[in-house]
Structures are given as C-alpha cells and as structure tokens.
Amino acid sequence: MQLSGMTFAAAILAAGFAGAEEVHVYNWSDYIDESLLTKFQEETGIKLVYDVFDSNEILETKLLAGGSGYDVVVPSGTFLQRQITAGAFQKLDKSKLPNLSNMWDLVMERTEKYDPGNQYGVNYMWGTTGIGVNIDKVKEVLGDDAPVDSLALIFDPKNMEKLQSCGVYVLDAPTELIPAALKYLGEDPDAQDYDTIAKTEPVLTAMAPFVQKFNSSEYINALANGDICAAFGWSGDVLIARDRAAEANNGVNIEYHIPKEGALMWFDMMAIPVDAPNPDGALKFINFMMDPHNIAAASNYVYYANGNKASQQFLNEDVIGDTAIYPDEATMNNLYTTSPWDPKVNRLVTRLWTKIKSGT
Amino acid sequence: MTGLRRLVLILTPYSWLIFFFLIPFLIVVKISLSNTALSIPPYTPQLDLAQGWAGVKDFFGNLDFENFSFLASDPLYYTAYLSSLKIALISTFLTLLIGYPIAYGMAQAPDEWRPTLMMLVILPFWTSFLIRIYAWMGILSNEGFLNQFLLWTGIIDTPLTILNTPTAVYIGIVYGYLPFMILPIYSALEKLDGSLIEAAEDLGCSKASAFWLVTLPLSRPGMIAGCFLVFIPALGEFVIPSLLGGTSTLMIGKTLYEEFFSNRDWPVASAVAVVLLLILIIPIILFQKNEERQREANG
C-alpha cells in the first residue's frame, strides 16, 4: 500500500516536470555505474528515469502487455529474438547512432543470430554461464584435483553428493541448465527437438536432490558469505561475489571457471520498444552508452565484458586482463550460443523443469 | 424522490461489483478461451470490430475450451489445487485456534486496555508484508535465530531444517493472516451483550458451558468472516510459498506465476485463475444459501 502511495506521489512529481524531455530506461539490476546516469543528464539535458528488473520473463511480460512506457530495454539475445518476432521493437535509426563504429565485430557477428543485420539491438554487455566455487571448501570436500573447470562438478552425482554438505546453488533457468546438460552429454546444446532435450532428464534428476536451492540471484551473497561452496551461475555475478568476499576480508576465496566442455555465451541487448514515448531520446541514450569511455566505466564497475572494441583501451587491467571476463581465443571458440525454443517445446521444457525440481 | 434514492442505493454496490469484479472476470474468462500467440498482447483472437459482424463471428468462432481440457490432462494442476486446498484449510484452522483465544482475551480486557491491545494487533501492518516474510527467512534458516537459540538451550544438537519446507509455509501463513482472524472475532465478541452470559449463569450454567452455549454461537459470524478472510487469500498465496517453501511445495499461486512468466502462456494462466475462482466461489455461494435457509427456518 505504502509503495503504491509513493509511486503515486512520484507520478504527480513526474507530471510536474512534464515540460522537460524524459527518457525511461529499463535495465538489469546492479548493471551500471550510476554516476553515468548523472553524466547523461548533464550532457544531454534529458531527464533520465532509470528502472531495474531481475529477470527476462518480467521484462517480456511488460513488453507483450504493451504500453510499458519504456524507451530503452535490455533483454538477452534469445528473448530479443522472440520479442522481435512478436513485433515488440522498432528498427534503430542508425544515422543517429554515430558511435556504432566503436562496436566489436566479433560480438556483432554473434548477435546477428538473434537479430539479423543487427537492426533492432545494440550489445550492452555479454558474459558466460559457468561454475563459481569457494575453492578451499571444494578442495576440502573433493580433494586437490576437484574438477572445478568441468561440468562434471555439477552434473556428476558423485561430486554433487559430496558437495551437498557445503551447499550448491543452481540458476533457476531451464534455458541455462538444459543447454549445459546437453553439452555434458555430448549433444548439441542448441537442440530444438524435445526428444533430444528430454535426454537431459536423467542427468538433471540425478543432481537435483543435492541442490540446496534453484535461484538466479541469491548465489551472489551465499557464495560471498561462505554459506555455499559452489554455484552454477553467470560470470559477472560470481565475480561480484569474489569482490564482496575480498572486501569483507572473510577468508572466502571465490573463483569463476568457464567449463572446459564449453559454456553458454549470452548477450544483453539495448533495444527500443515499438511504443516508446521518446524514441529520439532512446537513441541518444544508446549512443551515449556506446561511447568508449562510458561503457568502459560500466564494465569496470560490474565486471562484465562489453561489445565495444574501442572501449577496451579504457578498461582496468583486472577486467580486460581477466580471462574469466574476456576469455582467450581458444576458450572463445569453445563458447556456444542458443536460440529460443518454439512455444510447444518451451511448454514441455518448463513442465520438465518443474518435474526435475519438485518431483511432481 | 424515495424511488430515486432506492435506485441509487441499490445501483451503487451493483455497479461496484460489475466494474471491479464482473468485467475483469469476464476479460480473464475471455483470455482463458483464447490461444497463445507471439504478439502484443500474447494471445489470439482479438476482437476486430472494424470488420463488423463477420469480425464478431470470427472472434467467437475461435474461442474454445482447449486450455481447460489441458488443465485436466496434466496431474500437475490437480495436485497443485489439492495441495493448496490442504495448506489453506490447515492454516485457516491453526489461525482460528490461535486467533480465538487472543480475540477473547482482548474482549475480556478492561476497557482502557482495549485500544492498546487493538494497536498491538494492527502494528505489524506498518511494516511491509514482504519484509516481515523475509524476516522469517532469517529466523528459520539453518544458521537462523531459532536454530541458534535451540542449540544454545541444548534442546537440539543439530540445526532443524525448517526453511524451505511446508512447515515454514504454515508458519508464514498463520503469522501473516492472524490479524485478519482476530479482528472480526474481536468485533463480534466485543458487541456481545454481557447480560446474556449473566442470565445463563443465573439459570445454572457453569462458566464453561455458558461459553460453549452462549459466547461461542454468538461469535460464529466473526469466526466465519475470519475464516473466509484467511482461507481465500491463503489458497492463492504466492509470496509465502515462494520465499519460505522449498521447490517441492506445490501451490497454485506458484503454478499460476510459472504459467504467466515462464511459459508466457496467458490463456492457460487465465484458465488456472478461472478454475481457482470457481473453487472459491462455489463453496461460498452454497454456504451463504445454507445460512439463509437456516435463518429463515429459525424465523
């Protein structure tokens, strides 16, 4: 109740400023250096309203309901692709995006898979899905030759049974776990037919009982506090946990490993909803974020790689020099991407996921 | 003049119900008969009035009950409804068991204490519901206050796993909805005419049987109102099971959320919601009918 009262007050305040130009941005939580928000307002004179979300599903529901009121949103690649099909975005007017020349062809080529010709989206950040470990605890349980750089750590029940004692969290996202399980089985991680996907059921059912929690955000704190010893999660999140533990100086050493079998490479893309109230302001914001200085500041802050080649000279050494963030070429070639399942397969997969987690 | 007044008096509650219950419900029913589609909004058919009568015919021709037969075909939904009913019934009963003595105590308390006691019941509402449930996560977790306290007293040797189990869900629901049980019972007991109990005692009733024969039946409307206020939201509860319950706690609110967000299937999500509403409304209507019949029979 109190919250809606505050929203109402905010709406009245916003109405008071109706004369000024506004741009509404909807991005992932903990995903920007907030001084950039002030910098944008100072440089352009446009009032920036910045909101955050924590799951692609929430964003998609708002977009498909229509009238979200946002000018810039940041879905991941597979979601962008489906939302383009749904007619949720408008094409970018590239004549108003001079900073496009700073982008990294290597990333642009990969995002064409979701958005041929990169007509609707510009990469914001990208990363991998892999293994976060509290290295001392894992070695204590599994010995010094613990397979921390292998999917076997998570998918081999023999390892999981032992790790259970110190705690394992896993992303609550079948779109992440099923491709990984397929890769572990030596199948195509981007398999689209349900028969192939169903092969992962025995693997996932065998590991699920040893997972303390399926959740897509709580593992940052749990890893950093030493509550759990392993997590299957997103690169930057694990690195944030590593940093928090180092700052707390609590003796917890966190490492992020890209599985040697291969890892999912994902891209978060800036795009403009078809019904955006201020598409011009949106283009100004996207162009601002493609400025090498600005996006470098964001990457230095959140420990995620970006798709901006020109920004690399401004990155801190612990970002550009870390192969967990900017993998070397051999690892890079070992990363794979996925495409969205069609609605029927998606429904079967969600059902399978419920069954794996709850046994029903 | 009186005719107009009567009309306004009758129309006000009805138009409230029509605008804020019936019309939204019909929209949900309509979506539940549609098919999912990748578009804005994510379902078809849309009513296209520009095509005139043909558009209307087309629209109704494309509605079907496929989603409802889908719900019947997968045991997941059946299990989730049953498990929600069970959790809601048990927690309503527990809330009544705890809430009644509290309300009774409040009603028996001296007049000058009552506002303070009332305040104490309402006070938790000043904090966000979400924060209070998060606080329970801190209390019930393996490293939480409860386990540390029990370990300290020596009652247990190893921490009890309460968080992420159905027990935690019961604790959360009973805690969260207790005021909704206490307040209506208290208001029923407060209005109770004390001379009735004196009369019962004068006529030879013991204190216990006076309570059983006079107080309890007269507070029945309060108990019923309290039970409905707890049972109805508990049945569709989403926040408590998703924060305190484990992955194996199946509740219809969570299933509804997954249909809406993970499957992005608004039609099936709407069908789940329609069935949930029917499960709630039919027993309530039957109950009301029965009440009326009894009232008439009692003259």
Global ipTM: 0.72
- Chain A contacts in chain B segment 69-98 (CB below 8 A): 74-76, 79
What pLDDT is attached to residue B192? 87
Nearest-CA distance B41 → chain A (Å)? 5
Rounded mean pLDDT of B166-195? 93
> Given this model, what pLDDT does residue A16 score?
45
Q: pLDDT tens, A191-214?
A: 999 999 999 999 999 999 898 888
User: CA quadruple B121, B127, B132, B135: dihedral positive or negative?
Assistant: negative
DSSP string, A289-316: HTSHHHHHHHHHHH--EESBGGGGGGS-
- Asked whether the beta carbons of residue A227 and residue B143 sit closer than 8 angstroms, the reply is yes
**Which residue is closest to A58 within chain B, CA to CA?**
B261
Give Cβ neighbours of residue B169 (< 8 Å, ≥ 6 apart): B87, B91, B240, B241, B244, B245, B249, B251
Residue pair A221/A241 in contact (Cβ under 8 Å)? The answer is yes
The 3-state DSSP class for residue B183 equals: helix
B89-97 mean pLDDT: 96
- Considering chain A, what is the average pLDDT of its residues? 90
State yes or no: pLDDT of A11 exceeds 50. Answer: no
In the predicted model, is pLDDT for residue B107 greater than 70? yes
Give residue B74's region: left, alpha or beta (phi > 0; psi -120 to 50). Answer: beta
Tell me, yes or no, whether B111 lies in a domain: yes
**Residue A186: closest CA among A266, A110, A262:** A262
* pLDDT for res A19: 59
Report d(CA A229, CA A255) in Å as an integer.
10
* Tens of pLDDT, residues B282-294: 878 888 888 888 8
DSSP secondary structure of A197-244 = HHTTHHHHHHHGGG-SEE-SSTHHHHHHHTS-SEEEEEHHHHHHHHHH
Mean pLDDT of A333-350: 88
Res A8: pLDDT? 45
Q: Per the structure block, which two tokens stand in for B85?
A: 């009913």
Q: Which of B127, B247, B260 to mutate to test the interface with A (most CBs of A within 10 A)?
A: B247
Beta-carbon separation of A360 and B260 below 8 A:
no
- A 10 A CB-CB count for B42 gives 22
CB contact at 8 A, A134 and A223:
yes
pLDDT of residue B201: 87
Give me the phi and psi of A303, to 5 degrees please.
60, 35
Check residue B48 and give its pLDDT: 66
Which candidate in A215, A341, A350, A355 is best for mutational testing of the B interface (most B CBs within 10 A)?
A: A350
Q: pLDDT by residue (tens digit) across A111-121?
A: 999 999 999 99
Distance of alpha carbon A130 from alpha carbon A180, whole angstroms:
9
| Spatial distance between the Cα atoms of B169 and B176, rounded to a whole number of angstroms | 10
Residue B67 belongs to a domain: no
Q: Cα(A26)–Cα(A44) distance, rounded to whole angstroms? A: 19
Please say if the pLDDT value at position A298 is more than 70.
Answer: yes
Which residue segment(s) compose the domain that B229 sits in?
74-298
Quick check: bond before B241 cis, omega within 30?
no
User: What is the arithmetic mean of pLDDT over B198-209?
Assistant: 88
* Residue B242 belongs to domain with CATH number: 1.10.3720.10
CB–CB contact A354 B76 (8 Å): yes
Write phi, then psi, for A148 (nearest 5 degrees).
Answer: -70, -15
Mean local confidence (pLDDT), B242-255:
82
Smallest Cα distance from A144 to chain B, Å: 28
DSSP A46: P
Contact: A82, B38; criterion CB under 8 Å: yes
Between positions 253 and 292 of A, the ones with CB within 8 A of B are: 274
Is 80 exceeded by the pLDDT of residue A342? yes
In a domain, B41, yes or no: no
Nearest to B178 by CA among B133, B131, B121, B123: B121
Are A49 and A25 a contacting pair, CB within 8 Å?
A: yes
The answer to whether residue A152 scores a pLDDT higher than 80 is yes
A3 interfacial to chain B (CB closer than 8 Å): yes
CA distance A217 to A233: 9
Q: By C-alpha distance, which of A129, A123, A128 is closest to A110?
A: A123
CA A320 to chain B, closest CA, distance in angstroms equals 35
Q: Is residue B23 part of a domain?
A: no
Q: How are beta strands A254-257 and A263-271 bridged, if at all?
A: unpaired
| pLDDT range class, residue B163, cuts 50, 70, 90 | confident
Instruction: Render pLDDT for A233-264 as a digit per residue (tens, 0 to 9).
Output: 999 889 989 988 999 898 899 999 999 999 99
Digit-coded pLDDT (tens) for B127-145: 999 999 999 988 988 778 8
Residues from chain A contacting residue B262 (CB–CB below 8 Å): 57, 350, 353
Residue B123 C-alpha, separation from nearest chain A C-alpha, in angstroms? 14
Q: What is the DSSP letter of A24?
A: E
List the domains of chain A with CATH numbers: 2-127+267-327 (3.40.190.10), 128-264+338-358 (3.40.190.10)
Inform me whether the pLDDT recorded for B275 exceeds 80.
Answer: yes
Backbone angles phi, psi at A265, to 5 degrees: -105, 125
What's this model's pTM, rounded to 2 decimal places?
A: 0.78
For chain B, what is the domain count?
A: 1
Is residue B158 a part of any domain in this protein?
yes
Residue B102 lies in a domain: yes
Residue B27 · residue B19 · CB < 8 Å: no
What local confidence, expressed as pLDDT, does residue A48 receive?
Answer: 95
CA nearest A94: which of A283, A276, A303, A279?
Answer: A283
Minimum CA–CA partner of B40 in chain A = A64
Q: Is the pLDDT of residue B57 over 90?
A: no
The CA-based dihedral angle spanning residues B289, B292, B297, B299, taken in that order and rounded to the nearest 10 degrees: -170
Region B257-266: what's the mean pLDDT? 84
Which of B192, B233, B231 has its CA nearest to residue B214? B192
Q: What is the pLDDT of residue A350?
A: 84
Q: What is the pLDDT of residue A360?
A: 64
Query: How many whole angstroms separate alpha carbon A209 and alpha carbon A218?
Result: 19
pLDDT for the residue B49: 66
Amino acid A12: pLDDT: 43
Is residue B257 one of the residues assigned to a domain?
yes
Contact list, B247 vs chain A (CB under 8 Å): 213-214, 357-358
Q: Is residue B156 part of a domain?
A: yes
Whose structure tokens read 């190893």? B158
Asked if A53 and A267 count as a contact pair (C-beta separation under 8 A), the reply is no
